[in-house]
Amino acid sequence: MDLGIRGKTALVTASSGGMGRNIAHALASEGANVVLFARSQDKLTTVASEIIQQHGVRALAKAGDMRVSSDVTTLVESIKAEFGGLDIVVLNTARPPNPIRATTEEVDMARWDEAYQNQLAGVLQVMSQAMPLITARGWGRVIAITSASVKAPMAHHSLSTVFRAGVTAYMKHLANEVGLSGVTVNCVAPALIETPHRAGSAAYTAAQAEARKRLTPLGRMGTQGELAGVVTFLASEQAGFITGATIPVEGGMLGSLF
Ligand SMILES: NC(=O)c1ccc[n+]([C@@H]2O[C@H](COP(=O)([O-])OP(=O)(O)OC[C@H]3O[C@@H](n4cnc5c(N)ncnc54)[C@H](OP(=O)(O)O)[C@@H]3O)[C@@H](O)[C@H]2O)c1
């Protein structure tokens, strides 16, 4: 199936590694040109080279911090100069602070502030400056990576749930306001996606990681490809009548009817 995004320009934030990098590859494999944004220029340059070599599209690597207004301004100016506009934005972010804790133990305001900055403030910063580029084209896709915890709060995840619920609310407001410009705005809410790139530094012990597989009817973790595939579908022409939605990618862990 042709997803209709060949030649479109896609910005993927937090894309120097992990999920962001995999999503950028998936969009590029469908013919989208990609703009990569994260703080590490060397890693971004490597990802951009891989993408150009493997998918034959254009890839721009721009270093900067999602939370810093001037960095985002520079990013948006570069996109205008290189591509003349923007069609797709995937709002991936840093993880919440580690280690994860019970809500009653989250008494350090610095951790709440870090979680707010990393997960919500960066998204607001990027969208505040990038939205005019997307609405100008009469067709657009905005997709935020949140967490399944926004549907059913998961133990020890309040630093994620609280601010990703904020992202979800912000995306719903945007969806309502920009629909007439041909722009859809959605969230993808993952849980239990394997993160092989972080082996050894994960928040879970080996025993906890094994137990997590049994949280889903499928009895396994999800793959990076399964997550990136859903994001890429939401970026497609065919997903044009989906907006204001949150699509869970969590192997059925939530167990709710909706
Ligand atoms: N795996 C799951 O099942 C699951 C479930 C729910 C939610 N999530 C969320 O999915 C997201 C991606 O997960 P991941 O495992 O791929 O994370 P990761 O490996 O820690 O990668 C995070 C990326 O964010 C970039 N980054 C960090 N701070 C940034 C900033 N201020 N500005 C710009 N870029 C920044 C990092 O690059 P630089 O260091 O170069 O900036 C890196 O590319 C996270 O928010 C995670 O919490 C994952």
Tens of pLDDT, residue by residue over 99-144, are 999 999 999 999 999 999 999 999 999 999 999 999 999 999 999 9
For residue 205, is pLDDT > 90? Answer: no
93 CA from centroid of ligand 1 (Å): 5
191 CA from centroid of ligand 1 (Å): 13
Domains of the chain: 9-247 (3.40.50.720)
What does the DSSP 8-state code read for residue 222? B
Number of C-beta neighbours around residue 23 at 10 A: 29
Nearest to 242 by CA among 179, 180, 189, 181: 179
Q: What is the pLDDT of residues 150-186, one digit of tens each?
A: 999 999 999 999 999 999 999 999 999 999 999 999 9
User: Which residues make Cβ contacts (< 8 Å) with residue 27, sequence separation at least 6?
Assistant: 5, 10, 12, 34, 88, 90, 231, 232, 235
Q: What is the pLDDT of residues 215-238, one digit of tens each?
A: 999 999 999 999 999 999 999 999
For residue 249, is pLDDT > 90? Answer: yes
95 CA from centroid of ligand 1 (Å): 5
Confidence of residue 189 (pLDDT cuts 50, 70, 90): very high
Number of C-beta neighbours around residue 6 at 10 A: 11
Helix, strand, coil shares of the chain, percent, nearest 5, are 50, 15, 35
Residue 197: the pLDDT is 73
Residue 208: the pLDDT is 83
Nearest to 123 by CA among 151, 88, 92, 98: 92
Residue 200: the pLDDT is 58
Residue 201: the pLDDT is 60
Ligand 1 nearest atom to the CA of residue 67, by list position: 31
For residue 203, is pLDDT > 80? Answer: no
Residue 196: the pLDDT is 80
For residue 94, is pLDDT > 80? Answer: yes
- To test ligand 1's pocket by mutation, which of 19, 40, 114 has the most ligand atoms within 8 angstroms of CB? 19
For residue 148, is pLDDT > 80? Answer: yes
Residue 119: the pLDDT is 98
Give the whole-angstrom CA distance, residue 204 versus residue 200: 9
3-state secondary structure of 220: coil
Q: What's CA 7's distance to the chain center, in Å?
A: 21
Amino acid at 194: E
Q: What is the pLDDT of residues 40-67, one digit of tens each?
A: 999 999 999 999 999 999 999 999 999 9
